[in-house]
Structure 1
Amino acid sequence: MSRLHLFDLDGTLIHNSAAAIEISRHLGTERETAELERDFAARLLTPAEFAAKACALWGERLTEAVLAATFEAAPWLEGIKEVWARIAERGERIAVISLSPHFFVERLLDWGAHTAHGSRWPELPLRGPIDPAGILNARAKVRITDELCARYGLGRADCVAYGDSMSDAALFAAVPVSVAVNADHHVRDLATHCYNGRDLREAYALTAS
């Protein structure tokens, strides 16, 4: 029986960091972005409000060249490409679903993800405003999972979720197998397995059969 593996990005595939944090380092806006991250974690900002403020902060300075450098330098877990190759060899599917900008998330298609879903931002360099309707939230992860299941002829019972924080809690509650990766309390108590470390091969081994 095939399975659908659902990966979060920020704090999960990227160790102890997020796309927004890594972009801010390249643009010199660490302090301002850290404030946005704190407000978001405290639920003082919705995902759409966070995206609108970050988009205004970065503006046209976020170019394709900056994005490429940011992606390359991010602190990725080890073994991502190897794990995804193993999953594909088993005839199973890989999806990345993240609240981060689509242009960052979709770069993981080149690493072996079958599908990648991020919040829809203006194209680079950033000029237009954010459309709140295109910004994902925790509930959207469940909706996208159901859409992918329908596409692949699978059900929630065939899904494995990997995540680290409150944006993954709804998905962890919806699927039978989940791995909390370097996670906080929002998902640790919901998870089937917990992993602390920097190697996705070790996290994947908890679910492989």
Structure 2
Amino acid sequence: MRGVVFFDVDGTLVPNTSSGQHLAELLGHAEVVREAEAGYAAGVLSNEQVCVLDARGWASRSPAEVRGFLKTLPLVEGIAETVDWCRRHRLAPILATLAWDVVGEYLCDRFGFERSCGPRLEVVRGRYSGDVAAYFDEIDKRDFAVSVATELGVQLWHCAAIGDSRSDLPLFAEVGMAVAFNATAGARSAAHTSADGSDLRDVLPLLAGWLESMP
């Protein structure tokens, strides 16, 4: 394994919205999640507070039902091809995200990411209870990436991160290549480079250049 590429989900693989907002539209609490995520982006709510507000809207729904909803999740083009490129260049493709764990698991199954992270909803007798089983914030996201790199025997400067917003900043500060993709001003200023577009393959020239410069 030559390195690792960590991919964010919301705002990065999921354009112009978030997996949480998309699912909330189908679950019936979209306005709650829109306001909560806006509060997180503005720095006035923690991710734990957002999780609590969102989780209530999942009460009585089943994991299978939500899995069906995820088939309609809007995604950028080129995800499968980018994952394949990473594998061909001996880079482990990993999801580093604050999206619910069910979202990461779905994307791993669909596109071949090796693993994912994220907060977890409580399930009681086959249904979501409306409570959070495990919280996960931007520091946990960074720590997850560090632990994956350590497990794989990869130095952090041989890791790249692709992200777009506040939750990516702690991870951007740790890796050898931080790419802001369709990102906020804050993420762009924290990244080494940036790209914009509707296709994830737009980051590949940047990753290729990083690989060429890698000792």
TM-score by length of 2: 0.89
| RMSD between aligned residues | 1.6
- What secondary structure is seen at the aligned counterpart in 1 of 2:59? helix
Deviation at 1:57, TM superposition (A): 2.4
Would you say the 8 A contact 1:26–1:66 is kept in 2?
no
Q: Give 1:68-83 correspondences, 5 Å limit.
A: 68-83=67-82
Residue 165 (structure 2) pairs with residue 165 (structure 1):
yes
Q: 1:22 to 1:66 in 2, by over 3 A?
A: farther
- Structure 1 position 65, deviation (Å): 4.2
- 1:138 shift after superposition: 1.2
The residue type equivalent to 2:91 in the other structure is E
Residues 103-152 of structure 1, C-alpha deviations (whole Å, 9 max, x = no match): 11111221110111111221363116224xx2111111221111111111
In structure 1, stretches of 5+ residues that fail to align are none
Tell me what 2:43 maps to.
43
- Displacement of 1:45 in angstroms is 2.0
Q: What's the counterpart of residue 106 of structure 1?
A: 105
Q: Is the Cα contact below 8 Å between 1:146 and 1:155 reproduced in 2? A: no
Q: Aligned residue for 2:137?
A: 137
Contact preservation (8 Å) 2:11, 2:182: yes
Map 1:149-188 to 2 at 5 A.
Answer: 149-188=149-188
- Residue by residue over 1:73-131, the C-alpha shift from the partner in whole angstroms, topping out at 9 and shown as x without a partner, is 12211010111012112222011011111111111221110111111221363116224
Instruction: Give per-residue Cα distances to partners, 1:62-81, cap 9 Å, x unaligned.
Output: x3344233322122110101
State the 4+ residue runs in structure 1 displaced beyond 6 angstroms: none
SS in structure 1 of the partner of residue 180 of structure 2: strand
Q: Which stretch of the first structure deviates more once superposed, 114-123 or 143-152?
A: 114-123
Q: What letter is aligned with 2:135?
A: I
TM normalised by structure 1 equals 0.92
Match for residue 87 of structure 1?
A: 86
State the 1:204 CA deviation. Answer: 2.2
- Indicate if the aligned counterparts of 1:39 and 1:45 stay in contact, CA closer than 8 A: yes
Distance 1:128 1:64 in 2: 12
Q: Which amino acid aligns with 2:71?
A: E
- The whole-number CA distance in structure 2 between the counterparts of 1:164 and 1:30 is 22
Question: When the two structures are aligned, how many residues end up with a matched partner?
Answer: 206
Does the CA-based 8 Å contact 1:106-1:118 persist in structure 2? Answer: no
Q: Give me the whole-angstrom Cα distance separating, in 1, the residues matched to 2:81 and 2:127.
A: 32
The answer on 1:126 being equivalent to 2:125 is no
Secondary structure at 1:122 match in 2? strand
What is the CA distance between 1:199 and its match in structure 2?
Answer: 0.3
Which residue of the partner structure matches residue 12 of structure 1? 12
Partner of 2:117: 117
Q: Is the 8 A contact 1:101 1:121 kept in 2?
A: yes
Q: 1:149 & 1:31 partners in 2: Cα distance?
A: 37
Structure 1 position 194, deviation (Å)? 0.9
Letter in 2 for 1:186: G
Paired residue secondary structure (1:117): coil
